[in-house]
Protein backbone atom coordinates (compact mmCIF):
# COMPACT_ATOMS: atom_id res chain seq x y z
CA UNK A 1 0.00 0.00 0.00
CA UNK A 2 1.11 3.52 -0.69
CA UNK A 3 2.27 5.44 2.37
CA UNK A 4 3.27 8.73 0.77
CA UNK A 5 0.80 11.40 -0.18
CA UNK A 6 0.20 11.70 -3.94
CA UNK A 7 2.13 14.82 -5.00
CA UNK A 8 -0.76 16.38 -6.95
CA UNK A 9 -4.34 16.88 -5.84
CA UNK A 10 -6.10 17.85 -9.09
CA UNK A 11 -5.43 18.76 -12.68
CA UNK A 12 -4.18 22.35 -12.93
CA UNK A 13 -4.29 22.56 -16.70
CA UNK A 14 -3.78 20.51 -19.83
CA UNK A 15 -1.88 22.45 -22.51
CA UNK A 16 -2.08 22.08 -26.27
CA UNK A 17 -0.81 24.12 -29.24
CA UNK A 18 -3.51 25.44 -31.58
CA UNK A 19 -3.47 27.26 -34.92
CA UNK A 20 -6.31 29.71 -34.30
CA UNK A 21 -7.07 31.01 -30.80
CA UNK A 22 -10.44 32.43 -31.89
CA UNK A 23 -11.61 29.14 -33.43
CA UNK A 24 -10.48 27.47 -30.21
CA UNK A 25 -12.40 30.02 -28.12
CA UNK A 26 -15.57 29.52 -30.17
CA UNK A 27 -15.31 25.73 -29.80
CA UNK A 28 -14.55 25.60 -26.06
CA UNK A 29 -16.44 28.66 -24.80
CA UNK A 30 -19.36 29.17 -27.17
CA UNK A 31 -20.05 25.53 -28.09
CA UNK A 32 -18.90 23.46 -25.10
CA UNK A 33 -19.46 26.09 -22.39
CA UNK A 34 -16.01 26.40 -20.78
CA UNK A 35 -15.46 30.09 -19.89
CA UNK A 36 -12.28 31.80 -21.05
CA UNK A 37 -10.72 32.90 -17.74
CA UNK A 38 -7.18 33.97 -18.66
CA UNK A 39 -5.19 35.11 -21.67
CA UNK A 40 -1.45 35.47 -21.18
CA UNK A 41 0.54 37.18 -23.95
CA UNK A 42 4.20 36.32 -23.49
CA UNK A 43 7.71 36.68 -24.88
CA UNK A 44 10.02 34.21 -23.18
CA UNK A 45 12.71 31.64 -23.77
CA UNK A 46 11.01 28.31 -24.48
CA UNK A 47 13.22 25.30 -25.21
CA UNK A 48 16.26 27.47 -25.75
CA UNK A 49 14.77 30.13 -28.05
CA UNK A 50 12.97 33.41 -27.41
CA UNK A 51 9.36 32.97 -28.57
CA UNK A 52 6.24 35.15 -28.69
CA UNK A 53 2.95 33.42 -27.91
CA UNK A 54 -0.60 33.72 -26.61
CA UNK A 55 -1.68 31.28 -23.86
CA UNK A 56 -5.41 30.94 -23.07
CA UNK A 57 -7.15 29.09 -20.24
CA UNK A 58 -10.72 27.73 -20.26
CA UNK A 59 -12.03 26.82 -16.81
CA UNK A 60 -13.51 23.50 -15.70
CA UNK A 61 -15.95 23.21 -12.79
CA UNK A 62 -13.21 22.33 -10.26
CA UNK A 63 -11.07 25.34 -11.17
CA UNK A 64 -8.65 23.41 -13.37
CA UNK A 65 -8.34 24.40 -17.01
CA UNK A 66 -7.77 23.45 -20.59
CA UNK A 67 -4.97 25.68 -21.85
CA UNK A 68 -3.91 26.52 -25.40
CA UNK A 69 -0.81 28.08 -26.95
CA UNK A 70 -0.50 29.87 -30.27
CA UNK A 71 2.95 31.05 -31.36
CA UNK A 72 3.45 34.20 -33.42
CA UNK A 73 6.31 32.84 -35.55
CA UNK A 74 5.14 30.14 -38.01
CA UNK A 75 8.36 28.16 -37.48
CA UNK A 76 7.83 28.19 -33.70
CA UNK A 77 4.22 27.14 -34.23
CA UNK A 78 5.24 24.21 -36.44
CA UNK A 79 7.96 23.12 -34.01
CA UNK A 80 5.71 23.23 -30.95
CA UNK A 81 2.54 21.75 -32.43
CA UNK A 82 1.84 18.04 -32.08
CA UNK A 83 -0.34 16.84 -34.94
CA UNK A 84 -2.47 14.23 -33.22
CA UNK A 85 -5.32 13.86 -35.70
CA UNK A 86 -4.52 10.17 -36.17
CA UNK A 87 -3.13 9.48 -32.69
CA UNK A 88 -4.85 8.24 -29.57
CA UNK A 89 -3.82 11.39 -27.65
CA UNK A 90 -6.76 12.96 -25.86
CA UNK A 91 -7.82 14.74 -22.70
CA UNK A 92 -10.56 13.06 -20.65
CA UNK A 93 -12.84 15.14 -18.45
CA UNK A 94 -15.30 13.88 -15.84
CA UNK A 95 -18.89 14.55 -16.82
CA UNK A 96 -22.46 13.38 -16.20
CA UNK A 97 -24.90 11.62 -18.50
CA UNK A 98 -27.04 14.77 -18.49
CA UNK A 99 -24.07 16.92 -19.53
CA UNK A 100 -23.14 14.40 -22.22
CA UNK A 101 -26.67 14.62 -23.61
CA UNK A 102 -26.59 18.43 -23.56
CA UNK A 103 -23.22 18.43 -25.33
CA UNK A 104 -24.45 15.87 -27.87
CA UNK A 105 -27.31 18.22 -28.75
CA UNK A 106 -24.98 21.20 -29.11
CA UNK A 107 -22.57 19.19 -31.26
CA UNK A 108 -25.41 17.91 -33.45
CA UNK A 109 -26.74 21.46 -33.88
CA UNK A 110 -23.25 22.62 -34.89
CA UNK A 111 -22.88 19.70 -37.30
CA UNK A 112 -19.79 18.36 -35.52
CA UNK A 113 -19.00 14.66 -35.56
CA UNK A 114 -18.82 12.86 -32.22
CA UNK A 115 -19.15 9.35 -30.88
CA UNK A 116 -20.14 7.65 -27.66
CA UNK A 117 -18.51 4.48 -26.35
CA UNK A 118 -19.63 2.37 -23.42
CA UNK A 119 -16.37 0.97 -22.03
CA UNK A 120 -18.17 -0.93 -19.27
CA UNK A 121 -16.31 0.95 -16.54
CA UNK A 122 -17.40 4.35 -17.96
CA UNK A 123 -19.37 5.88 -20.84
CA UNK A 124 -17.46 8.38 -22.98
CA UNK A 125 -18.52 11.03 -25.47
CA UNK A 126 -15.68 11.94 -27.85
CA UNK A 127 -15.36 15.07 -29.99
CA UNK A 128 -12.34 16.51 -31.81
CA UNK A 129 -11.52 20.21 -31.52
CA UNK A 130 -10.53 22.42 -34.48
CA UNK A 131 -6.84 21.48 -34.05
CA UNK A 132 -7.25 17.73 -33.75
CA UNK A 133 -7.27 17.32 -29.96
CA UNK A 134 -9.80 14.69 -28.96
CA UNK A 135 -11.80 15.72 -25.90
CA UNK A 136 -13.47 12.90 -23.98
CA UNK A 137 -16.38 13.56 -21.61
CA UNK A 138 -16.43 10.56 -19.26
CA UNK A 139 -19.27 9.45 -17.01
CA UNK A 140 -18.61 6.86 -14.30
CA UNK A 141 -21.27 4.27 -13.43
CA UNK A 142 -22.98 4.19 -10.03
CA UNK A 143 -20.75 1.31 -8.91
CA UNK A 144 -17.51 3.18 -9.75
CA UNK A 145 -16.16 2.68 -6.20
CA UNK A 146 -16.47 -1.11 -6.55
CA UNK A 147 -14.85 -1.04 -9.99
CA UNK A 148 -11.99 1.13 -8.73
CA UNK A 149 -11.41 -1.15 -5.72
CA UNK A 150 -11.34 -4.22 -7.99
CA UNK A 151 -8.86 -2.55 -10.36
CA UNK A 152 -6.62 -1.33 -7.51
CA UNK A 153 -6.47 -4.86 -6.13
CA UNK A 154 -5.09 -6.33 -9.34
CA UNK A 155 -3.51 -3.46 -11.29
CA UNK A 156 0.06 -4.68 -10.73
CA UNK A 157 -0.66 -8.35 -11.40
CA UNK A 158 -2.59 -7.49 -14.57
CA UNK A 159 0.28 -5.35 -15.84
CA UNK A 160 2.75 -8.15 -15.08
CA UNK A 161 0.46 -10.60 -16.92
CA UNK A 162 0.34 -8.34 -19.98
CA UNK A 163 4.10 -7.72 -19.96
CA UNK A 164 4.82 -11.45 -19.68
CA UNK A 165 2.93 -12.11 -22.92
CA UNK A 166 -0.64 -12.92 -21.86
CA UNK A 167 -2.55 -10.31 -23.87
CA UNK A 168 -6.04 -11.65 -23.25
CA UNK A 169 -8.67 -9.03 -22.37
CA UNK A 170 -9.64 -8.52 -18.74
CA UNK A 171 -12.53 -6.07 -19.21
CA UNK A 172 -15.53 -8.20 -18.33
CA UNK A 173 -17.63 -5.05 -17.87
CA UNK A 174 -17.76 -4.12 -21.57
CA UNK A 175 -20.87 -5.62 -23.13
CA UNK A 176 -19.51 -5.57 -26.70
CA UNK A 177 -16.17 -4.89 -28.29
CA UNK A 178 -16.09 -1.26 -29.40
CA UNK A 179 -13.24 0.73 -30.89
CA UNK A 180 -11.61 3.42 -28.77
Residue 176 has a pLDDT of 58
Number of residues assigned to the chain: 180
**What does the alpha-carbon distance between residue 113 and residue 26 come to, in Å, rounded to a whole number?**
16
What are the residue ranges spanned by the domains of the chain? 13-139
Q: Residue 88's CB: how many other CB atoms inside 10 A?
A: 7
Tens digits of residue pLDDT in 44-94: 888 899 999 999 999 999 999 999 999 999 999 988 887 656 666 789 999
pLDDT < 50 stretches in the chain: 177-180
Distance, C-alpha 171 to centroid of its chain = 22
Q: How many CB atoms lie within 10 A of CB 123?
A: 17
Share of the chain above pLDDT 90, in %: 58
pTM: 0.78
- Counting DSSP H helices and E strands in the chain, the numbers are 4, 8
Neighbours of 76 (CB within 10 A): 20
Q: What CATH code would you report for 13-139?
A: 3.10.180.10
CA nearest to 81, candidates 27, 18, 15:
18
With contact defined as beta carbons under 8 Å apart, do 127 and 113 qualify? yes
Amino acid sequence: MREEKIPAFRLHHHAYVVDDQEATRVFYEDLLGFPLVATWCEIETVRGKERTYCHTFFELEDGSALAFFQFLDPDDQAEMKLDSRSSLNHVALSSTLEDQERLRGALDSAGLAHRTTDHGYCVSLYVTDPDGLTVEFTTDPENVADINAWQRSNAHSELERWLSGDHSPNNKLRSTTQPH
